[in-house]
Structures are given as C-alpha cells and as structure tokens.
Amino acid sequence: MSVFNSTPVASDTCVTSATSTNIVSPTPGYTGRFAPSPTGPLHLGSLVAAMASYLDARAHQGRWLLRIEDLDFDRNVADADRHILNSLQRCGMHWDGDVSWQSQRQPLYEQALKQLAAQVYPCACSRKEIADSRLRAGSTASQIYPGTCRTGLAPGKAPRAWRLRVPDGKAAVFQFEDRLLGAQTQDLASEVGDFVLKRADGFWAYQLAVVVDDAEQGISHVVRGADLLDSTARQCYLQQLLGLPRPAYLHVPVVTNADGEKLSKQTGALAFDRGDNDVLQEALLPAARFLGLQMSPAVRDLHIFWESATAAWAQYLARQPAQQPIQQPHLSLK
C-alpha cells in the first residue's frame, strides 16, 4: 500500500490486556463481520480474511455477521454465495443472525446518496477520456480522477457516474489507526481524487455500500484483507459526511501466489465446500499458519482447532507491535 505511510504508534488498548489464554477481553457491543463477494467459491485467500475476523470476534466474545457483497451483478457467479456459506459451515465458522445480501439493501444506498447530494456531481467521462486527460496533463497517477466534470458537464454530455467531491488542503488528509499496522494517513485530494459512488453501469460503488452497511449493522470492528487498506480513508470520509461512527480497523496480509498475485479462483485457489477433503489439514491449518498463529499440526477436531486458534489469535495481537511492518508470508498451495 504505497499510498500509506506507516508510523509507529502505541498499540490499541483492547488488544494488550490479555489475562486469559483465549480471550483478549470481553468487549460489550463488539460486532464484526465477514463480507465476501460471490464471485467464486471461498478459497484459501478469502478464508484467511474470514478466519481473522471470526477469531477477533471470538476473542472479544462478540458477534460475527455475514454479509454477501453482491452488488457487481456482472461479476457475481450463480450459486457462489451458497458455496461460500457451505464452506464456512464445513470449517465450523458459525455466524450470528441472518445472512444479509447487499442486493437487497439498495434503498439504503439511494438514501445515503441523497443525503450526500451537496457533495455529489454527475460525471460523463468514459474510462478512455479519463486516461487521455491524464496523459495530456502528464500525470502518472493512474488512480486519480482529473476533475473534468467537477464544475459541470461539458455541453452535449450525459451523466454516466456519480462522483463525490473530496475536500482540498488539510481537510483532504485522513488519518486512522489500524490495530495491526498502526497510524495510517492518506491525502484524498492528491492520492485518490473525487471517487465514484454510483457507477456508469448503474451499480452502487463498494465504498458507499460498505459504509452504509457497516453503520446500519452496528459493525464496531472491521477485520479484512490489506488489499482494502487503501479504501479505508475514503470510507472514513463518507462516515464523516453521513454522520456515522467509525469502526476500529485491522487489515491482515493478503495471500498471494508465487507470482505475487492475490489469490482468486483464476490463480489456483482451492474450493472446499464439498467432497472429502480434510478442511483442517487443507484449509484451516494453512490459513492459521499464514496468519502467524502458533498451532499444533496434530489437531484433528474442529472444536479444538477453534479453541486453540482463538487463544493463538489473542496471543498474536498481544505480542504484535503495532508498528511492525506487515508480514507477507507466502502460502504454498498443494
């Protein structure tokens, strides 16, 4: 995450007071979540994120919700949500309450967009136009929107997407504390630019939906993969504009293959929602090892696995100096 400067900070108080071997400290109101996209079966990469959020909820004696992020209708794979739920159940990961689907929550996003009307504007740019105007400006920042439609659409142009105006100057600098990585800073104006809330294809953008859902579901602690670290400042800005609380954040390393690519179903991930494969040996123990948890390889029982993994997670957080650079171990796939 080259856009972030990681600065040493004092570690979060809630993770350093472990007196028991298997809990950090009971945290009233703790609500965590796992929020997979149904673009394929759960694989070892997504299992690592699921496991970290599940263990953190268990260690705090909190609730763990499951939310299916199915807003990108072009990428959804039929039945992938059912496969993911089956895999979690096979792994012994039981969620609290009902599963929620973002596709059923779109009126909430519409309402939030209305609330943001003063900061939102229509954008008529195609991807190619954005790329061309960056080239003309000699910009190498591939992610930053050049602000073409900020002051209104050019004559004859029709709105495609809806963008949120980011502040200028000091107000554009967002800081948040990552429980694992320490203090994070991002300047939304120079590093992100005005970002999309509703896409040209009519789909809701991830940033808006996730902020609305986390608040509406009372999520107090977000534990997810570090590929989303870069999104967090945008989410903090949306929380500020919408008057929503900011959850605590913790980002865990992302599993990559030998070429450094994030695992996906295209890069050799294993599915384990059915069949006779041994979820402990083939999925849970490798995922726990990837997270750096000290686990006995001899464990043969799911209940015992989760008891020991919860204790190992609490110990891991207690000894993890917040300033330690994120570890990126390689997880070998069979």
Q: Is 80 in the site for Zn ion (CB under 5 A)?
A: no
Q: Minimum Å distance from CB 139 to Zn ion?
A: 15
Instruction: Please compute, for residue 33, the number of CA atoms within 13 A of its CA located in the half-sphere on the CB side.
Output: 26
| Residues that contact Zn ion, how many (by CB under 5 A) | 4
Judged by CB under 5 A, which stretch of 16-24, 61-69, 121-129, 214-222 contacts Zn ion?
121-129
Pick 125 or 322: Cβ nearer Zn ion:
125
Pick 88 or 196: Cβ nearer Zn ion:
196
Q: Is 133 in the site for Zn ion (CB under 5 A)?
A: no
Judged by CB under 5 A, which stretch of 1-9, 115-123, 225-233, 290-298 contacts Zn ion?
115-123
Q: Within positions 249 to 288, which residues make up the interface with Zn ion, using CB under 5 A?
A: none
At a CB cut-off of 8 Å and minimum separation 6, what does 184 contact? 4, 5, 6, 175, 176, 177, 178, 229, 232, 233
Beta strand pairing status for 120-123 and 161-164? Answer: antiparallel
Judged by CB under 5 A, which stretch of 55-63, 146-154, 205-213, 223-231 contacts Zn ion?
146-154
Q: Is 164 in the site for Zn ion (CB under 5 A)?
A: no
What distance in Å separates the CA atoms of residue 13 and residue 231, rounded to the nearest whole number?
A: 24
At a CB cut-off of 8 Å and minimum separation 6, what does 283 contact? 44, 47, 91, 270, 272, 277
Binder among 112, 123, 283, 314 for Zn ion (CB under 5 A)? 123
Contact 30, 220 (CB under 8 A): yes
Contact 200, 72 (CB under 8 A): no
Judged by CB under 5 A, which stretch of 8-16, 84-92, 140-148, 312-320 contacts Zn ion?
140-148
Pick 148 or 267: Cβ nearer Zn ion:
148
Q: Is 125 in the site for Zn ion (CB under 5 A)?
A: yes
Chain centroid to CA 249 = 9
What tokens appear for 86 in the block? 């089956």
Rg over alpha carbons for the chain, rounded to the nearest Å, is 21
Pick 122 or 218: Cβ nearer Zn ion:
122
Contact 186, 174 (CB under 8 A): yes
Instruction: Write out the residues near Zn ion by the rule CB under 5 A.
Output: 123, 125, 148-149
